[in-house]
Structure 1
Amino acid sequence: MFMDYSLGDLGSIFVMQAFAGLILFSIFVLMALGLAIIFGQMGVINMAHGEFMILGAYMTYLTSNLFQTYLPSLYSIYFFVAMAVAFLASGALGLLVEWSMIRFLYKRPLDTLLATWGLSLILQQSYRSIFGAREVGVELPPWMMGSLPVTGTIEVQINGLFVMGLTVVITLSVYLLLYRSSWGKQVRAVMQNRVMAGAVGINTEKTDRYTFGLGCGIAGIAGSAFTMIGSTGPTAGQLYIVDTFLVVVFGGAQSLLGVIASAFTISQAQSTLEFFLSGSMAKVLTLLGVVVILMIRPQGLFTIKVRR
């Protein structure tokens, strides 16, 4: 596999694939953050999480078209507006779904899985009916196009750097919200002991609703970031949902550090293997590696100790 390349070529290949892996890592982290909040904090298996991501992507696409048509002079800043719109749209849909369906299915994981899987099919068909079956893309603003030379043979894409910077900002924001705010304490209290949290005056139903909405809103931001590196279609979310669940379970569903470490490991492994092997074979080998590690450590890479 490596014999056809010189050491210099291999070094350049590994650096380029490592950067590509960091872009994939950024999408994984944004997707997994929302899912970790919903699955890790609430115990809800949300099979429609990918469709919340695609809703964010479509909101970004619509915002891009609106700016191109009516505000072309401000197109360079459209993405920041689109990101806010994507967060609000996906978060609002998440609040509606929690109120109308999820709140009746707590402590029933199989029913929740089936219900959200059905919701994902409904959302896919809705996107297909509204936006069409073809994939759509957005035009990057001028400052986000092009690449920066690192060496004579290595260049990094500016849009990829932007996505990675966005991931850092969102991750820090989620950390501060969950671990340094009073609302985050309420979320973690409900997760650890719902009965006791309710007994001390925490509105557990409202906390659940806003937690689910936050997780879906972060998925919408992931959809906005996704438009920077790829096109959007009605079923694009299904391409990432399995990898996202894998990241969350492998890292530890209740650990923010575990999600980050898991996303980095899986994205780098897939990116490097895809260059030398086929994409499907890279996924198979990555999955096998994760399964072996989970057999040794079924609780994931990182776990939170909770007094029982």
Structure 2
Amino acid sequence: MFSDYSSAELMSIFAMQGFAGLTLFSVFVLMALGLAIIFGQMGVINMAHGEFMILGAYITYLTSNLFSQWIPDWYGSYFFVAMALAFLAAALLGMLVEWLMIRHLYHRPLDTLLATWGLSLILQQSYRSIFGAREVGVTMPDWMMGSYPITDLVEVPINGLFVMCLSLGITLVVAALMYRSRWGIQVRAVVQNRPMAGAVGINTQKVDRMTFALGCGIAGIAGSAFTMIGSTGPTSGQLYIVDTFLVVVFGGAASLLGTVASAFTISQAQSTMEFFLSGSMAKVLTLLFVVGILMVRPQGLFSLKVRR
């Protein structure tokens, strides 16, 4: 497999695929952060998480069209407005879904799986009816075009760098919320001992609703980032939901560090193997590796110590 390439070519291939893996890692992190918060705290298996991401992507697409048609002079800054709107739209939809459906299904993980899977089908058909079945894309601003040459053979796309910086920023914000804010203390208290948290005056239902909204909002931001590296269609979210669950389970539910480490490991492995093997074979080998690790360590790479 490697004999057909010189050592210099192999180094360039690994560098290019490593950066491509970092771009995939960025999307995985943004998707998995929201899912880890929801699954880790509430035990809800949200199969519609990918559709919340696609909602953010479509909001970004609409904002892009609005800026290009009405205020083209400000088109270079449309993404920041789109990202805020995507977060708000996905978070508000998440609050509505939690109030209408999820709150009635707590402690019933299989029921939440079926219910959210049905919700994902409803959202997919809604997107298909509103935006059409064909994939749509956005035109990137001029400052996101081009690439930085690292060596004669390796170039780094600017939009990929931007997505990585965005993922790093969102991760730091989530870490600050979880470990440096009053709301984060309440979330961790509910995770560790829900009855005792309620007994000391924490409104666990409100915490659940806000947590679900935050997780969905982060998925909306992931959708905005997704438009920078791919086109958007009604079923695009399903391409990432399995990998995202894999990241969360492999890293350890409710572990922020585990989510980041797992996303990095899986994205780098897939990106490198996809160059030398087919995409499906790369996924199979990655899955076998993760399953093997989970058989030895079922709690994932990092586990949260909680009182039972």
Superposition TM-score, scaled by structure 1 size: 0.99
Alignment correspondent of 1:179 = 179
The one-letter code of the counterpart of 1:175 is A
| CA deviation after TM superposition for structure 1 residue 42, in Å | 1.3
Q: Tell me, what secondary structure is at the counterpart of 1:188?
A: helix
Contact 2:193 2:307 in 1 (8 A): no
Q: 2:50, 2:237 within 8 Å by CA — same for their partners in 1?
A: yes
Q: CA offsets, 1:265-304, max 9 Å, x none?
A: 0000000000000000000000000000110111000011
Q: How far, CA to CA, are the matches of 1:101 and 1:304 in structure 2?
A: 28
Aligned residues: 308
Structure 2: gaps (5+ residues): none
CA deviation digits over 1:59-111, x for unaligned, max 9?
00000000000010000000000000000000000000000000000001111
Match of 2:227 in 1: 227
For 2:148, what is the secondary structure of its paired residue? Answer: strand
C-alpha distance in 2 between matches for 1:286 and 1:193: 35
| Distance (Å, rounded) in 2 between the aligned partners of 1:281 and 1:86 | 34
Residue 296 in structure 1 maps to residue 296 in structure 2: yes
CA distance in 2, matches of 1:41, 1:31: 16
2:134 maps to which residue?
134
SS of residue matched to 1:156: strand
| Deviation for aligned residue 1:306 | 2.0
Residue 199 (structure 2) aligns with: 199
**Distance in structure 2 (CA, Å) of the matches to 1:123 and 1:303:** 33
Provide the residue aligned with 1:262 in structure 2: 262
TM-superposed CA distance for 1:192, in Å, is 1.3
Instruction: Give unpaired runs (5+ residues) of structure 1.
Output: none
Normalization by structure 2: what TM-score? 0.99
State how far apart, in whole Å, the 2-side matches of 1:99 and 1:66 are.
31
In the alignment, structure 1 residue 189 sits paired with structure 2 residue 189: yes
Question: 2:8 matched to which residue of 1?
Answer: 8
Say which is worse superposed, 50-59 or 197-206, in terms of deviation: 197-206
Distance in 2 separating the partners of 1:56 and 1:307: 36
Q: Which segments of structure 1 move beyond 2 Å, counting only runs of 4 or more? A: none
Partner SS state of residue 156, structure 2: strand
Deviations 1:139-179 (A, max 9, x none): 00000000000011110000000000000000000000011
Q: Secondary structure at the match of 1:168?
A: helix
**Matches of 2:272 and 2:12 in 1, distance apart?**
12
Structure 2: how far apart are the matches of 1:193 and 1:122? 34
- Taking the aligned partners of 2:180 and 2:5, their CA distance within structure 1 comes to 49
Instruction: Report what 1:43 is aligned to.
Output: 43
SS in structure 2 at match of 1:140: coil
Kindly report which structure 2 residues correspond to 1:65-104, keeping only aligned pairs within 5 A, or say none: 65-104=65-104
Residue of structure 2 equivalent to 1:30: 30
Q: Return the offset for 1:307.
A: 3.3
Q: Distance in 2 between matches of 1:110 and 1:225?
A: 31
Q: Percent identity?
A: 80
Specify the SS of the correspondent of 1:233. Answer: coil
Equivalent-residue separation in structure 2 for 1:53 and 1:182 (angstroms): 27
SS of equivalent residue, structure 1 residue 235: coil
